[in-house]
Amino acid sequence: MGELKLAQGGGKSERERVRWLGHEILPHEQDVRAWLRRSLVTSNDVDDVIQESYCRLANLKAVEQIESPRAYFFQTARSVVLEQMRRARIVRIDAVTEIDALRIEWDEPSPERIAGGRKELERVMKIVATLPERSRRIFEMRRVLGLSQKEIARQLGVSENVVENEAARGLKAVLAGLAKADANVAPSSTGERRA
């Protein structure tokens, strides 16, 4: 922690870590959230654990040796929860038993999850499609044409600030959308085992 270097564009290793998080961790966030939701009280707690887990995963010295990022994500989230419980003075008894009972769905990802990154990207793009026109256009110009925010501002005839704000607004909507329970996934604990 605290060693994050955020200079212009970021260093190569930083960009690689961002990529790794996006491609190897993010696709499993839904499942980790669903798993946490079954044992934790509020969605706020779930968000806390997710944020804390990302912080730890991002600060790992090396990630290349991690064979199953999915399993690693589950384990990290689990240890975050256990630590929080240890710190808390009052712990719901059932929470403790639950977190143990809920051990480990990570070795059986649902068939959809195997498609992994691509599926997640589709999910992201679906949310992007619901954004207001201007926001959508900015992300499209970034992605399809590879234009920078600065170039986009020039092409659209608006200030760079406008583009940045619009991008931030769109990103917020996507982050919030990704945190929501997927309507297609049944909230029961057997939800992922449908054949």
Residue 156 near other proteins by CB under 8 A: no
Q: Which two tokens stand for residue 52?
A: 């804390």
Rounded to whole angstroms, the Cα distance separating 65 from 43 reads 32
Q: Which stretch binds other proteins (CB under 8 A): 31-39, 62-70, 101-109, 136-144?
A: 136-144
> What would the x/- binding string for other proteins be over residues 82 to 121, using CB under 8 A?
-----------------------------------xx-xx
Distance from C-alpha of 125 to C-alpha of 31, rounded to nearest angstrom: 19
Can residue 172 be called a binding residue for other proteins (CB under 8 A)? yes
For residues 137 and 156, what is the distance between their CA atoms, to the nearest angstrom?
10
The Cα 181–Cα 34 span in angstroms is: 7
Nearer to other proteins, 22 or 191 (CB): 22
Helix axes 43-58, 160-179, angle to 10 degrees: 110
Q: Which is nearer to other proteins, 97 or 148 (CB)?
A: 148
Residue 7 as a binder of other proteins (CB under 8 A): the answer is yes
Helices (H), the chain: 12-20, 26-39, 43-58, 69-87, 93-101, 111-114, 117-129, 133-143, 149-156, 160-179
DSSP-derived 3-state class of residue 88? coil
- Residue 79 within binding range of other proteins, rule CB under 8 A: no
Window contacting other proteins (CB under 8 A); options: 64-72, 86-94, 172-180, 183-191: 172-180
Contacts with other proteins by CB under 8 A lie at: 1-2, 4, 6-10, 15, 17-19, 21-23, 25-26, 44, 47-48, 50-59, 117-118, 120-121, 124, 128, 137, 139-146, 148-150, 160, 163-165, 167-172, 174-176, 178-179
